[in-house]
Structure 1
Amino acid sequence: MHGTGKPPSAATDNTIASSRVMLLLLVCMTGVAPISLYMLVPALPVLATTFGSDISIAQMTVSLYMVGIACSQLIMGPLSDKFGRRPVLLAGLALMVTASIGCSLVQTLPELIAARFLQALGGASGMVISRAIIRDLYERHQISSKISLVIGVMMVAQMLSALVGGLIEISFGWRAIFYFITMASLSVAALIAIALPETRRARDGGSSFRGDVGKLIRDRAFIGYVLCQVLASQIIFTFAGGGPYIVVTQMGRTTAEYGAWFATTGFAYLVGNMFCVRFAPRHSLEKLIWFGLALQFTGALLNVGFSISGLNQAPLWLFGTQMIVMVANAFVMNNAAAGAISVRPEAAGTASGAMGFLQQGIGALISQFGAYLGGHSATTLPLTAAILALSVACASTMFFLVPRPTIVVSEELIEQAEEEESGML
C-alpha cells in the first residue's frame, strides 16, 4: 500500500476515508508535535535547576519550539504539494526522531533549546500535512467534520500530555521524557510508512510554489477564510495570555484554581468540535461559519457586559461566558480552515502551511499582548474588549472578502422545467 506518486482511485479513496486506520494516522501525525510541546512543560523548573539557569531561559525550550512549529508550517506544506504528502511527512518525522535523541543527550541548555527547535520543525509537518491529506481524500462538505473529529480526539490526548510528562519526570527524570517522545515519534513514522499511501492529486506540470502562492493571494475567498480562521485562533491566544494574571492577580485565586478553570475552556472547544462532526455533513461551510460567528459575538458581548457591570470579577462568570465563545470558536476555526484549503485543492499543502504559520506566528505576539492587558489592568474589561474586537474582525473578513455562494441552474434543469411548463399548458 506504499505510495507511487499517483493518487489512489476513487474506490480506494472511499475505502481509506472510511477506515479507522486513516483516522488513527491523522490523529497521530497531527498530535505528535503539540503533545511533545506540553509534555516538557512540567519539567521546566527542573531544567532551570539542573542547568543552573533562570526559569525564563528554560522557558525558551517552549517558546522556540513554538517558533519551530510556525516555520515548519510554512516549509512543509509547499514541499508536500511538490514532492507528495508521504515522503515529506516521513522526512519530517525522521528529523523529529533525530532531534529527540539529541534532546536526550544534551549537556547544556542552549543545546537543548536548539534541539527542541529542530524537533518542532520536523514534528509539525504532521500538523500541516494532515489538513492537506483530509482535503485530498474528502469532498468539500466533509472536510470540516473530519478536521473536527481529528482535533477532538487529539485534544483529549493533548490534555493528558502534561500529566504524563510530569509523571515520567518524577519517576525517571527529565531525559526520560525525550526517550518517550523518541519512541512515540518512531512508532508514528513506522505506522505511516506501513499504512499511509500517497494522496496528493496529480498536478499540472507547470505548477510551482510561486504559482500556487500567486493564485492563492489573488483569491479573495482564500484570504477571507484564512483571516477568519487566524483571527478566531487569536481569541484563544489572547485569553490564554491574559487569563492567569486576571485570575491570580486580580481575583486573588491560586494557580491551581486557574488551571482548573482554564480546562473548562478546552472542554468547551472539544464540545464545539463534536458538534461540528455532527452538523458539518448536513450544512454548508458558510452557514456553519456564520452560526459560529454569531454565537462567538454573543458570548464576547456578554463578557464585555459582565466586565462593565463587574460581575465577571468572579471566575464563574468570566469562564462561563468564555466557554460560549470557545464552543463557537470551534465552528469558526474548523469550517474556515476547510474553506481555505478547498479554494485550490492542488495547492492544499501551501494553503494549509500559510494558515498554520500565520496562526502560530501571530499567536506568539498576541499572547504577549493578552498578558499585557491582563497584567496591567484593574478589571477584566481590556481583555474582554479585545476578544470582542477580534470577534467583530472575524465576521468582517467573512462579510467583505468571501464571496456569497451563488446558485447555478444547469441547462438540464431549465429544459426539465420548460417541459413541465409546456405539459401543463
Structure 2
Amino acid sequence: MTIAKTIPSSNGTPQPSSQQYSTAWILLLALLTSLGPLSIDMYLPALPVMANAFGVPTQMVANSLPAYFLGLALGQLIYGPLSDRIGRKPPLYFGLALFSVASVLCVFAQNEWSLIAARILQALGGCVGVVIARAAIRDRLDLQTSAQAFSSMMIVMTIAPIIAPTLGAWVLQWMNWKAIFAVLACVGVVCLICVHFFFQETLAKQHRLKLNFQQVLTLYSSILKDSNFRMPMLAGCLTGGALFCYISGSSAVMMNQYGLSETAFAYLFGANAVGIMLFSTINKKISGKLGVLQRLKLGSTIQVTGALLLVITGCLPQANLTWVMLGLFLAVSGIGFTGPNAMALAMAGQGARAGTASAVMGSAQFFCGLIGGVLLNFMLWSALLNMALLMLLFIGAGMLATFKIKPDLD
C-alpha cells in the first residue's frame, strides 16, 4: 500500500485524501504511540518491590502513575500547537530525547518523590508520539480511512501493553526494578533513530499556522467550542478513562486482593490488551457494514456492560476471579471500538489545526487518568469495588456523550 497524500483545497486548508496508508507508516506511528503503554505498564509488576525498596505503601509508589498522566496531559497541550506551527517532525526530536534522559533519571531515583518527578519529565517527553501520530493521520487521510488507520494502529500498539508487564516481570526475575527504566531509555533512543531516518514530514510549510501564545489560547477555545469536536472527544476520553482506572487499580486488585504473582498478574493484564486488539480488528472488519458512530455506540455498550458486572462482583464478599476478569475484559476491550471511532469523528474536521486538536483530546484523556488515579486514594471500599465504581462513572459519562453526537458526522 502507498502512503496517503494530502490534497490542498482552494483556500489553502489541507484536505486529506482517501488513499490507503502504508503498513510501514502505521508501524512507525504505532511505535511512537506505544511509548505511553510501555512506560505505564512495564513497571506495574514492580510496584510492590519498589514500595519495599523505598519503605512506603504500594499505593504511594502507585501515585507515580497519576503523576505520569499529569505529564502526559500537560505535554500534549504544548506539542499540539507547536507541531501546527513548526511541523510534526521537530517536536519528535525534542520529546523523544527528553523521554530517554528522564528514563535514565528514573534509574537513579532515591525515593518515591524523586521517582514521581522523573516520571513527570518522562511523560512530558513521551507524549509527543501520540500527538504527532494522530495529527499525521489527520494530515493524510479522510474520515473513513482514518478510522481504519486508527484501528490498525491500535491493533499494533496493543502489543505494547501485552508484552510490557510480562517483560517487566522477566526483568525482575534477573535484575532489580531499575533495569526496567534502563530498557525504556533504550526504547526512547530507538524511536529517536527511527524518526530521524524514516518519519517524513506530513504538514507542508504553507499549511502551518502562525501562532503566538494568545492565538494558541484562542485556538484552544475555538476547538473546544466546536461541538463536532467536543462531543466525540468527550466520548473517547471518558470511555477511555476506564483503561486508566484499570491501570491504576489493577496491581492492588490482582496482586494484593487476589494474591497473584508478578508473572500471573502480567499474563492476566496482557489478556485485556489482547481484547483491545481483537475488538479493534473486528471494528476494522465491520467498517463497511456499520458507520463510525454506530461502532462507537456499540463499543460504549460493551464497556458499560463490563463495568456493571465489575460493580456487582465488587459488592460480593469474595467474587470469583473469573467473573472479575470477564467484567474487566468487556470494560477494557470495548476501547477497541470506542477509541478509534471517537478519534476519527473528533479529528475529521480539524484541518490545519489537527495537532492542536489532537493535543486537546490526548490531554483530556490523560486528565481523566489523573483524576481516576487520585480518586483511588480516597475511596474507602475494597480495591476491586473502588476500581469498578470509577470505571462505571467514566464509561457511563462517555456513553451519554456518545449519544449526543450529531448523526450527520458519520
TM-score interval, smaller chain? 0.7 to 0.9
Query: Displacement, 1:93?
Result: 0.8
Which residue in the other structure is 1:397 paired with?
A: 401
Which letter maps to 1:253?
A: Y
Q: Which moved more, 1:310-319 or 1:73-82?
A: 310-319
Which residue in the other structure is 2:75 paired with?
A: 72
Q: Of 365, 371, 374, which residue of structure 2 is paired with 1:365?
A: 371
Which letter maps to 2:23?
A: R
Which residue in the other structure is 2:131 paired with?
A: 128
Q: Which moved more, 1:24-33 or 1:361-370?
A: 361-370
The correspondence of residues 285-364 of structure 1 with structure 2, limited to 5 A, is 285-300=292-307, 313-364=319-370
1:269 matches 2:276: yes
The correspondence of residues 6-21 of structure 1 with structure 2, limited to 5 A, is 18-21=21-24
Query: Displacement, 1:16?
Result: 9.8
Going from structure 1 to structure 2, the CA distance change for 1:173 and 1:31 (only over 3 Å counts) comes to: same
The correspondence of residues 17-416 of structure 1 with structure 2, limited to 5 A, is 18-48=21-51, 58-104=61-107, 110-200=113-203, 202-203=206-207, 208-239=215-246, 253-256=258-261, 261-280=268-287, 283-300=290-307, 313-369=319-375, 376=381, 387-400=391-404, 402-405=405-408
Match of 2:67, SS state, is helix
The one-character-per-residue Cα deviations of 1:289-327 (angstroms, maximum 9, x if unpaired) are 12223434444556667778x699323234324433334
Query: Displacement, 1:164?
Result: 2.1
Contact 1:29 1:130 in 2 (8 A): yes
Q: Which moved more, 1:351-360 or 1:324-333?
A: 324-333
Which letter maps to 2:161?
A: Q
Q: Which moved more, 1:334-343 or 1:275-284?
A: 275-284
Going from structure 1 to structure 2, the CA distance change for 1:378 and 1:17 (only over 3 Å counts) comes to: closer
Going from structure 1 to structure 2, the CA distance change for 1:344 and 1:30 (only over 3 Å counts) comes to: same
Contact 2:144 2:292 in 1 (8 A): yes
Q: TM-score, normalised by structure 2?
A: 0.80
Match of 1:313, SS state, is coil
Q: TM-score, normalised by structure 1?
A: 0.78
Number of equivalent positions: 393
What is the alpha-carbon distance in structure 1 between the residues aligned to residue 108 and residue 311 of structure 2?
49
What is the alpha-carbon distance in structure 2 between the residues aligned to residue 377 and residue 61 of structure 1?
21
Contact 1:144 1:276 in 2 (8 A): no
What is the alpha-carbon distance in structure 2 between the residues aligned to residue 180 and residue 259 of structure 1?
17
Larger Rg: 1
What is the alpha-carbon distance in structure 2 between the residues aligned to residue 91 and residue 316 of structure 1?
44
Higher helix share: 1
Query: Displacement, 1:121?
Result: 0.8
What is the alpha-carbon distance in structure 2 between the residues aligned to residue 299 and residue 166 of structure 1?
27
Q: Which moved more, 1:54-63 or 1:194-203?
A: 54-63
What is the alpha-carbon distance in structure 2 between the residues aligned to residue 107 and residue 389 of structure 1?
36
Which letter maps to 2:72?
A: I
Going from structure 1 to structure 2, the CA distance change for 1:398 and 1:175 (only over 3 Å counts) comes to: closer
What is the alpha-carbon distance in structure 2 between the residues aligned to residue 109 and residue 240 of structure 1?
19
Query: Displacement, 1:397?
Result: 1.7
Contact 2:161 2:273 in 1 (8 A): no
- Sequence identity of aligned pairs in percent? 26
Which letter maps to 1:295?
A: I
Going from structure 1 to structure 2, the CA distance change for 1:321 and 1:115 (only over 3 Å counts) comes to: closer
Gaps of 5+ in 1: 1-6, 408-425
Contact 2:308 2:392 in 1 (8 A): yes
Query: Displacement, 1:35?
Result: 0.8
Contact 1:93 1:189 in 2 (8 A): yes
Which letter maps to 1:152?
A: I
Gaps of 5+ in 2: 9-15
Query: Displacement, 1:359?
Result: 1.4
Q: Which moved more, 1:341-350 or 1:323-332?
A: 323-332
Contact 2:307 2:391 in 1 (8 A): yes
What is the alpha-carbon distance in structure 1 between the residues aligned to residue 25 and residue 389 of structure 2?
41
What is the alpha-carbon distance in structure 2 between the residues aligned to residue 358 and residue 77 of structure 1?
13
Query: Displacement, 1:206?
Result: 5.9
Query: Displacement, 1:149?
Result: 1.9
Query: Displacement, 1:128?
Result: 1.7
Q: Which moved more, 1:326-335 or 1:52-61?
A: 52-61
What is the alpha-carbon distance in structure 1 between the residues aligned to residue 370 and residue 186 of structure 2?
29
What is the alpha-carbon distance in structure 2 between the residues aligned to residue 46 and residue 306 of structure 1?
28
Contact 2:41 2:247 in 1 (8 A): no
Contact 2:165 2:269 in 1 (8 A): no
What is the alpha-carbon distance in structure 2 between the residues aligned to residue 384 and residue 317 of structure 1?
13
What is the alpha-carbon distance in structure 2 between the residues aligned to residue 144 and residue 394 of structure 1?
19
What is the alpha-carbon distance in structure 2 between the residues aligned to residue 224 and residue 63 of structure 1?
24
Contact 2:84 2:209 in 1 (8 A): no
Which residue in the other structure is 2:13 paired with?
A: none
What is the alpha-carbon distance in structure 2 between the residues aligned to residue 106 and residue 319 of structure 1?
34
The one-character-per-residue Cα deviations of 1:115-141 (angstroms, maximum 9, x if unpaired) are 332222111110221111111122111
Contact 1:17 1:137 in 2 (8 A): no
The one-character-per-residue Cα deviations of 1:136-175 (angstroms, maximum 9, x if unpaired) are 1221111222222222222222221233234334434444
Contact 2:6 2:141 in 1 (8 A): no
Which letter maps to 1:160?
A: I
What is the alpha-carbon distance in structure 2 between the residues aligned to residue 153 and residue 107 of structure 1?
35
Which letter maps to 2:291?
A: S
Which letter maps to 1:139?
A: D
Match of 1:254, SS state, is coil
